[in-house]
Structure 1
Amino acid sequence: MEIKTMDIQKTHRVTALLDSRATGLFLNSEFVKHHGLTMQLLPKPIPVLNINGKPHKADTISSVVDLILCYQNHALPSPVWASRI
């Protein structure tokens, strides 16, 4: 799978874990920083909840990265939440 940045069209090949029960798309914030991807800060952080409804101790979601997800002949523009979880 590849991800392509929407701002400068930089492409990265990644191995992805797909989880059909997740409520969104997530990317490790350290990966984002390491590869210099452009993050946009959210006006208000989003709390991360565990499956039992309790707040996750590690992080909140405070930024988003606009990417194009590419797999085989398909491309999907997607906002991806950056988090340490």
Structure 2
Amino acid sequence: AVQAWMTERRINVLTGETALLIAPDDTFHLCTGLITNFHQPYSTLILLVAAFLGAGGRDDLWRRVYDEALKENYRFLSYGDASLLWR
């Protein structure tokens, strides 16, 4: 929708800011998949993963995913392994 709006108006760059913080109590309405890396515990980025995976009463799913990543020696942070998460 945003890309179509920009194309119609011949806009190449769009900038802005937000005060939005996605937290575990939030619900995702449009997004069914998320590609991200493994984030540091207690970071705001882990809140995004917890919110994404926590929908539908699965509040501990993100912890199980991260426990498995630690067990299998996945690399964390910006240059680490990526994860593909589906809901």
TM > 0.5: no
TM-score normalised to structure 2 length = 0.21
Structure with greater proportional strand content: 1
In our comparison, the structure showing a higher alpha carbon Rg is 2
TM-score normalised to structure 1 length = 0.21
